[in-house]
Structure 1
Amino acid sequence: MTEKLSPKIDSKIQPNFEKIAFDLESTLNGVVTLKASTSEQAFTASVLGTERQGYGVHIIDSGLILTIGYLVAEAEQIWITTNSGQVIEGHALAYDYETGFGLVQCLGELDAPTIPLGNSNLIKANDDVIVAGAGGKATAITAKIAARAEFAGYWEYVIENAIFSAPSHPNWGGAALLNNAGEVCGIGSLFVNKIESDAMQREGNMIVPVELLDERLQELKLYGQTLSSPRPWLGMFASQIDQDFEIVGLYNNGPAALGGLETGDVILEINNIKSHSLANFFRNIWNIGPAGCEVPMKIMRNGSVSETTILSVDRRDLWKKPQFH
C-alpha cells in the first residue's frame, strides 16, 4: 500500500491542456509529494513499512493537506515537496480509520495553490476525470469513472460508495481525482486488478470520495480524530472464501493475535451470524458494539471447529496518535 513512485506516465494518457475548461496547470500545482517516516517500533511498521511516499492535495490555504491515511499513519516526520521545488516539513494532523483519509498540516507557508473540494456525490459512471500526482502534466492521466460501488478491504475497512477509475494511475497513493471544474472529488487509495462492478472488469484505482469528509473535517482538524464511538478492531486481515472468511494475516500483538487466532483460521460465524460478503462480515463485528466489546466467533482450524471470543480494542489506543493544535 505504500508503493515507490514510478517513472513518468505515457504521454498518450496525459491530459490535453487545450481540451480542459479550467486552468489545469495551476490546479495541478496544488498536488504535492509527501515523504513520511516512522520508527520500527511503530505498531503499523510491520505492515506499512517505516518509509512511505505518495501525494497529497492542498485544500485549505492554512497549509492543510488531504491525503490517504496509510501514508502518514504514526508518522514521526513528514516532508512536503511542491511543484515549485519547495521542501517544507509537515506533521500528521489526523488519520480517520473509517474513511481512510489523512490530514497533514504544513509547518510554514506552502508554495502551492489550494484545490477546492468538489461534490463527489455528482461523480457517476462514465464521467471523464483527471487523476493527478505531484509534478504537473507528467504525472496526471485522463480517466473514466468505471463504477461507484461498495468496497471492502481485508484490513477491516468498508466504504459504501467508493469511486473506481480506469485506467489505473501507476502512483495512486494520495493522488487527486479532479472533476471537469478542477475540484478534487476523491483521493487515490488502491490499485484494483479487476473492478468487479465494472461491466468490462478493467483494472483501475479505488478512490475515496470526499463526500465522506462532509461531517468529519472540522472534528479531524480540531481533535485529530472524530468524536463518535470507535468501531471494535481486531487487528486481522480477512479474505472471503465462498461463504466463509479466512484470516490471511494478523497484526503483531493485535487483539486477534493475542486472543489466539492464527493465519489460516477460517471464521464460520460472528456472534452466531453467517456473513454473505466481506463487507457484511466486518459489519457483523461492528454491530456488536463499540471498541472494547467482546466478539464471539466460530472458527475452523485444520478441519476442527471451535468457538472463541476476542476482546476488541480501539486501534487508536495502540497506534501513535497524530499531533494537533
Structure 2
Amino acid sequence: MFDARGYAVTVSYLLLDAVAIEARGRDGRAVPARVVGIDFDTGLGVVKLEGAGPWPAAALGSSQGLAPGARTGTVGVDEDNDLVAVAGSVQAIQPFAAYWEYMLDRAVFVAPASPAWGGSALVNDRGEVVGIASLRLGEAPHVNLAIPVEKFTGVRDELLAAGRVVSRPPRPWLGLYTVEAHGAVVVSDFSPVGPAAGAGFRKGDRIVGVNGVSVGTQREFYEQLWARRAGDTIEVAVQRAGGVVVIAVRSMDRQRLFRAGE
C-alpha cells in the first residue's frame, strides 16, 4: 500500500487473469479490491481497496542507492499464504530481458527468494519501499527479480487517472515468445491472442532481423521492435530450414486486450 486512500502497487501478471482480487492486512482482514491501472512496459499494476480508509501506507523510497551486498527486506506472503518479513540482500543490479516481449534497463536481484513473493514489497534498511518483487529466477540457490520503485513513481499519477501510461506511445506488441540459445533469438511459442499467432511463425524459427536490421539477442530484437509504434507493420526475418523468410506482422497495442477498472 502506497496511499492511505487504499491504493496498492503490485506486479501486473497477478492481475491480468484474476477473477476476483482481495487484499489481506496484518489483522487478517480480507478486503475486496479492483484494478485501476496497468503498465505493461514495466510489469506493474495498481489496485484500489474497496471500503473506507484511511489505510496504512508504506513510504516509497528509491532503489538508486542500492548496490550488491546492500541489506533489504521482502514483505509479503510465503508459500502457506502467511504474512512474512524476510531479511535479505542485493545480489546484482543489471538489465533483464524476458521471453514475453519484456525488458527492464535496470532490475534488482535479491536473495533469499520465494515463488510466492510476486507483488511483495522490497524495502531498504529504513523501511522504505525500493522495489516490487516479481519472478523467482534461475536454479537453486534462486534469486528474486525486483522492479525498481522508480518505474512506478514516475507514472503513478497517470495510472491512477487514466488506467495506463499516456505520456509515452504504446509499444508495438507481436505476442512472440522467444529465448536466447546458441547465440540466436529463437521462437519458442506465441500468445494465442497476439498478432504473431496467425502470421506464419514456427517454433524453432531463428529471428535474424527486424525491419531490415540484424538482431542476435533479445535486447536487440526488442529495441528494433519498439523503435516503431503500435499498429505498425513489423517485418521479422527468420531463418529456418530452406533459408531466410521475412514475415510481415501488423503489431498492436497490448493494452487493448485489457481494460483496467472494467
Same fold at TM > 0.5: yes
- The SS at the match of 2:69 is coil
Q: Does 234-243 or 60-69 show the bigger shift?
A: 234-243
Decide which of 82, 101, 105 is 1:160's aligned counterpart: 105
Would you say the 8 A contact 1:67–1:187 is kept in 2?
Answer: yes
**d(CA) in 2 for partners of 1:172 and 1:182?**
17
Q: How big is the shift at 1:118?
A: 0.7
**d(CA) in 1 for partners of 2:142 and 2:89?**
12
Specify the code of the residue in structure 2 equivalent to 1:188: A
Indicate whether 1:322 and 2:260 are aligned: yes
**d(CA) in 2 for partners of 1:132 and 1:303?**
53
Would you say the 8 A contact 1:82–1:111 is kept in 2?
Answer: no
Q: How big is the shift at 1:219?
A: 0.3
Residues 68-147 of structure 1 correspond to what in structure 2 (within 5 A)? 68-109=11-52, 113-134=56-77, 139-147=84-92
Distance 1:81 1:137, change over 3 A: closer
- Could you state the TM-score of these two structures normalised by the residue count of structure 1? 0.75
Would you say the 8 A contact 2:10–2:119 is kept in 1?
Answer: yes
| Higher-helix-fraction structure | 1
- The SS at the match of 1:230 is coil
Decide which of 211, 230, 254 is 1:291's aligned counterpart: 230
Q: How big is the shift at 1:206?
A: 0.5
Query: Which segments of 5 or more consecutive residues in structure 1 lack a partner in the other structure?
Result: 1-57, 195-200
1:140-162 superposed Cα distances (whole Å, 9 cap, x missing partner): 22111011100001110111110
Indicate whether 1:235 and 2:178 are aligned: no
**d(CA) in 1 for partners of 2:53 and 2:200?**
48
Q: How big is the shift at 1:111?
A: 7.8
Would you say the 8 A contact 1:156–1:236 is kept in 2?
Answer: yes
Decide which of 197, 205, 215 is 2:154's aligned counterpart: 215
Q: How big is the shift at 1:82?
A: 1.4
Cα RMSD (Å) of the superposition?
2.1
Residues 165-204 of structure 1 correspond to what in structure 2 (within 5 A)? 165-193=110-138, 203-204=142-143
Would you say the 8 A contact 1:132–1:175 is kept in 2?
Answer: yes
**d(CA) in 1 for partners of 2:82 and 2:29?**
18
Q: How big is the shift at 1:265?
A: 1.9
**Where does residue 305 of structure 1 map in the other structure?**
244
Specify the code of the residue in structure 2 equivalent to 1:213: F
**d(CA) in 2 for partners of 1:86 and 1:109?**
14
**d(CA) in 1 for partners of 2:105 and 2:213?**
21
Q: How big is the shift at 1:302?
A: 3.5
1:137-182 superposed Cα distances (whole Å, 9 cap, x missing partner): 9622211101110000111011111000012134121111110110
**Where does residue 26 of structure 1 map in the other structure?**
none
Residues 243-282 of structure 1 correspond to what in structure 2 (within 5 A)? 243-282=183-222
1:100-135 superposed Cα distances (whole Å, 9 cap, x missing partner): 111001111358521111111111111011112148
| Higher-strand-fraction structure | 2
Would you say the 8 A contact 1:75–1:92 is kept in 2?
Answer: no
Would you say the 8 A contact 1:74–1:320 is kept in 2?
Answer: no
**d(CA) in 1 for partners of 2:128 and 2:35?**
23
Would you say the 8 A contact 1:192–1:206 is kept in 2?
Answer: yes
Would you say the 8 A contact 1:82–1:134 is kept in 2?
Answer: no
Q: Does 234-243 or 218-227 show the bigger shift?
A: 234-243
1:15-61 superposed Cα distances (whole Å, 9 cap, x missing partner): xxxxxxxxxxxxxxxxxxxxxxxxxxxxxxxxxxxxxxxxxxx1100
**Where does residue 3 of structure 2 map in the other structure?**
60
Would you say the 8 A contact 2:115–2:135 is kept in 1?
Answer: no
For these two proteins, the number of residue pairs brought into alignment is: 259
Query: Which segments of 5 or more consecutive residues in structure 2 lack a partner in the other structure?
Result: none
Would you say the 8 A contact 2:5–2:54 is kept in 1?
Answer: no
Distance 1:170 1:75, change over 3 A: closer
Would you say the 8 A contact 2:207–2:216 is kept in 1?
Answer: no
- Could you state the TM-score of these two structures normalised by the residue count of structure 2? 0.92
Q: How big is the shift at 1:74?
A: 4.9
